[in-house]
Structures are given as C-alpha cells and as structure tokens.
Amino acid sequence: MTDINIYEPGYEPGHEPSYEPDLSARFGSIYLKNPVISCSGTFAGGIEYNRFFDVSKLGAVTTKSFSLKKKEGNPSPRIWETACGMLNSIGLQNEGIEYFVERQLEEINNLGADIILSIFGEDVEEFKKIALKINPVLKHLKAVELNYSCPNVKAGGMAFCAVPENIKAVTSEIKSVIDIPLIAKLSPNFGSVIPCAIKAKEGGADAVSVINTLTGTAFDIDTFKPRLANIVGGLSGPAIKPVALLQVYQLAKEKIIPIIGMGGIYSWQDAVEFLIAGANAVSIGTVNFSEPDAGEKIISGINDFLVLKNISSVNDIIGKAL
C-alpha cells in the first residue's frame, strides 16, 4: 500500500485523486492549453520573464500592442504607484508591427509560447494596414487582440470604446482581411462594457478582453504638479479588481460573447473568482511586475484548487457564480 500524505492538496478521504484536471480553455474558435494569459503591455514578448519561469506554460502570451509605425510614447514620469495599484501613461510606446513580424515573433516562437498579438490603429484604415502586414504570419498566432481603448483619431481622439458602433466597423473590416480569431479589448471608462461587447460580437469577434485600465490621476501636493507627465493614466492592480469582476459578471450574465477576464488578478484565488464570475479565461498584468513568476504560480494554484474540489475540468467552474 502506498503512503497517503493527508497534507497533500487534493487529498480527501475516499477521494484520492487519480487524475490531473483538464485545464484547457475552449471558447469561440480559440483553444488554449490553460486559461491563464499574460496581459498586453505587462509581459513584452515574454523573453524577459522566461528567465523566471517557462513562459510556454502560459495559456498564451499577449504581446505589447503594436501600431503600424514605431511610436515613441509619452514623456516621463510615466508611472505612479497608488494604494494597491499603479497608474501608467506609457503612451503605447512600441517598435511598430514590422518589428513584431520580422523579429519578435521568431523570438517568442523560440520560447515555445502560444501568442496572442495585440494591435491598435488610430483609425480603421490603420487597423486594416496592420492586419495586412500580419497576414503572412497568422499561422504562428492563436488570436489577434484589438486594443479598442486607444484614441480614434478620426473621432477627435476619443477612444474607440466611446462609440460602440466603431467597434463593429473595425472588427468586421479586420475579419474580412484576416482569418484568425479576434479578441476585442474593451475599456471600462465609458460605463458598461455590454454595448461594446454586443458590437464586437456583431463585428465577428470571438471573445472580448474585459477590462482595460481605469483612467485616473495623482498630484504632488508639494509642487502642485501632476504625478504623470501626461496627467491621465490607466489604473491597474488589485485596486481595480472589484470593478473588473462586476463588469465580467454582468457581461457573462448576458451570454453575449466569451470573456477573457482581467483587472487586478494577483493570485490563483483571484483568477478562480473571475472564472466563476463567468470569464472563460483570465489574463494577468500588473502582478507580473512585482511577482515575475506569477503566471506559473497561478496556473498551478488553479490546478490544485480543482484537485482539492474534485473537479475534473476548469470548464466546470466557469460561470458557477452566475
């Protein structure tokens, strides 16, 4: 008889685990080996974090958002720490989509990681031009995430998410150019994400990422100056988790479109909370900065939780709280 360690996670009398739970996530036409993804802009291409853990273990790595041309980003200071969170105004600094196609894609491929490419354009034409540039490398991508929180230049710089109809237009245009699952990343800064999610679905998106950062600011009371050179920044981290969770929950109840839940996830417990609130997968962002091996820990935490609860598949907990 083998020894049974009653302190091992998963042990319950009479319920010795004889299986590894199925962590795979399937939604829309997307298949991921597990539901834990890295958020765009918090993981670069994964090269740096691969020094801390094997990033190919992640469900997918979402790249930094790429524009058509290189973008320098905002002046410093670009970040400011807040209570249980941080403000950032990086200004979408990136090397341009050609850099991704010609250099970074191969580097991430070499890590063995599954890739979600994040892109943004200042109008529908730019989005389309980027789509055409990535057409030859689509087979290397799991999906393309469309960052709809960026300013729409044609609409006076207002974010695409401010006018849900724009989301439908851009999504369907891209869908007509490239044949790959599309994820619309939605902003929480214009009320409920539901109208945007409906339009994303109508435009042909496979899923939505909910939520992007919440806008905020901070001031220095000694100098009377803003803490961020750009004044406005995006708030992320555990401070925004309850807001994100509610957006996910309310959207999931409507059963419109699969959801990748994100916003302040710091532990596997947080991830499970998003899954039971109706997210089909989760994405981790700010936590990567302080705990560079968080991805690995969150995946194994979800796994152990399922074993402990004697649940055979992560799909069985999705939407349990609805």
Chain positions contacting another protein, by CB under 8 A: 41-44, 48-49, 51-52, 72-73, 75-81, 83-86, 88, 90, 93, 229, 237-238, 266-267, 286, 288-290, 292-293
* Least Å from the CB of residue 5 to another protein: 24
Angle between helix 194-203 and 164-177 (nearest 10)? 30
Measured CA to CA, the distance from residue 313 to residue 317 in angstroms comes to: 8
- Are residues 134 and 101 in contact, defined by beta-carbon separation less than 8 angstroms? yes
Is 39 a known active-site residue?
Answer: no
Q: What is the closest distance, in whole angstroms, from the C-beta atom of residue 67 to another protein in the complex?
A: 14
| Residue among 34 and 236 whose Cβ is closer to another protein | 236
The nearer residue to another protein, 72 or 179, going by C-beta atoms, is: 72
CB of 70 to another protein, least distance (A): 9
> Using CA atoms, how far apart are residues 92 and 64, in angstroms rounded to an integer?
8
CA 310 to chain centre: 28
Alpha-helical regions (H) of 178-309:
194-203, 241-254, 268-276, 287-290, 294-308
What does the block give as tokens for 264? 């302040």
What is the rounded distance in angstroms from the CA atom of residue 252 to the CA atom of residue 312? 22
User: Residue 69 in 3-state DSSP?
Assistant: coil
Q: Shortest distance, CB of residue 23 to another protein, whole angstroms?
A: 23
Integer angstrom CA distances of residue 23 from 32, 99, 302, 305: 9, 33, 8, 11
With CA atoms as reference, report the closest residue to 92 among 139, 40, 32.
40
Give the active site residue among 39, 84, 150, 196: 150
Report the alpha-carbon distance of residue 192 to residue 25 in Å, rounded.
25
Residue 318 half-sphere exposure toward CB, CA atoms < 13 A? 21
Radius of gyration of the chain (CA): 20
Nearer to another protein, 27 or 100 (CB): 100
Shortest distance (Å) from residue 295 CB to another protein: 13
Is the Cβ of residue 50 or residue 280 nearer to another protein in the bound state? 50
- For residue 207, which phi and psi values (nearest 5 degrees)? -160, 170
Sign (positive/negative) of CA torsion 226, 231, 237, 240? positive
Pick the closer one to another protein by CB: 97 or 184. Answer: 97
For 13, 78, 86, 227, the CA distances from 222, given in Å and listed in that order, are 61, 19, 20, 11
Q: How far is the CB of 254 from another protein (least distance, A)?
A: 31
Our CB check for another protein shows the closer of 66 and 266 to be 266
Shortest Å distance, C-beta 39 to another protein: 11
Residue whose CB is less far from another protein, 19 or 219: 219
List active site positions. 150
